[in-house]
């Protein structure tokens, strides 16, 4: 479930739709949680579907560390890619804002941690990275972990509208990590190495501006 202080908005012809903040969302806010309404599909289920359904999953799903496709039921599926994203996923099935997000600003993810099977070229944002690769999690997990650690301790001290979606055990672990009594699980936990089952043959959710890269 996406943060309630957001809405779907048309961004541009190049980007299409995106999720924007309707109110200020401070760094350390939980911006998305995997919930009971989100659907998970195995690669075999995907391959048995008609093309019309495969196309939907091609665009709007992401792949978890089991190689299964996860389709968000709400506007979470419209969160676009950025090489300088303001949200990062965690090893705990939720995402957090790694910097303050202001009203009217898009919530963005780095698709490098979504286990894409094929590279794609994103919009040029003036960053060093231009292409997202399937093994980006292995390349950049240490950088992403550091970004998470800078704000993870703020989670228990902020208003968290999505807290009720977390189990008590999960919340206790968040508190332990924020206090430094427990080590934060690495984002690398989310990596799918292709050895946990049948390989999915489609990319995860994509913004309309991405281009596949061959070679």
pLDDT per position as a tens digit, 49-62: 999 999 999 999 99
Distance in angstroms (rounded) separating the CA atoms of residues 159 and 52: 40
Paired residues of 115 in beta bridges: none
Which pLDDT band holds residue 195 (cuts at 50, 70, 90)?
low
Q: Cα–Cα distances in Å, from 106 out to 2, 84, 101, 117, 153? A: 13, 12, 8, 25, 24
Average pLDDT, rounded, for the chain: 92
Averaged pLDDT, 124-130: 95
Distance in angstroms (rounded) separating the CA atoms of residues 88 and 98: 7
Which pLDDT band holds residue 188 (cuts at 50, 70, 90)?
very high
Q: Any residues with CB less than 8 A from the CB of 130 and at least 6 apart, and which?
A: 83, 121, 122, 124
Residue 59's φ and ψ, nearest 5 degrees, are -85, -40
Which pLDDT band holds residue 202 (cuts at 50, 70, 90)?
very low
Distance in angstroms (rounded) separating the CA atoms of residues 161 and 134: 32
- Using alpha carbons, select from 148, 142, 147 the residue that is nearest to residue 174: 148
Q: How many CA atoms lie within 13 A of 86 on its CB side?
A: 19
pLDDT at 109 over 60: yes
pLDDT at 160: 98
pLDDT at 207 over 50: no
Averaged pLDDT, 38-50: 98
User: What is the CA angle 159-162-167, rounded to 5?
Assistant: 110
Q: Where are the alpha helices (DSSP H) in 29-162?
A: 43-47, 51-60, 136-152
Which pLDDT band holds residue 194 (cuts at 50, 70, 90)?
confident
Distance in angstroms (rounded) separating the CA atoms of residues 120 and 85: 16
pLDDT at 167: 97
Q: What is the CATH number of domain 6-209?
A: 2.170.270.10
For the purposes of burial, counting CB atoms within 10 Å of the CB of 200, is it exposed (0-12), middle (13-18) or buried (19 or more)?
buried
pLDDT at 204: 44
């Amino acid at each position: 479930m996406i943060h309630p202080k957001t809405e779907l908005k048309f961004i541009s012809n190049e980007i299409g739709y995106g999720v924007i903040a309707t109110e200020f969302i401070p760094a350390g806010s939980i911006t998305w949680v995997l919930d009971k309404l989100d659907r998970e599909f195995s690669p075999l289920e995907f391959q048995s579907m008609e093309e019309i359904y495969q196309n939907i999953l091609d665009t709007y799903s992401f792949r978890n560390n089991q190689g299964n496709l996860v389709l968000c039921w709400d506007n979470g599926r419209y969160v676009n890619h950025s090489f300088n994203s303001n949200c990062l996923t965690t090893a705990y099935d939720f995402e957090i804002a790694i910097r303050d997000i202001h009203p009217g600003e898009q919530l963005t993810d780095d698709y490098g941690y979504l286990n894409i099977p094929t590279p794609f070229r994103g919009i040029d944002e003036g960053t060093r990275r231009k292409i997202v690769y399937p093994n980006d999690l292995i390349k950049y997990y240490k950088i992403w972990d550091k970004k998470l650690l800078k704000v993870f301790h703020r989670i228990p001290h902020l208003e968290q509208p999505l807290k009720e979606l977390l189990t008590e055990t999960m919340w206790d672990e968040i508190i332990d990590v924020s206090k430094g009594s427990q080590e934060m699980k690495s984002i690398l936990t989310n990596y799918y190495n292709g050895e946990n089952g049948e390989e999915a043959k489609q990319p995860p959710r994509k913004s309309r501006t991405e281009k596949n890269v061959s070679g």
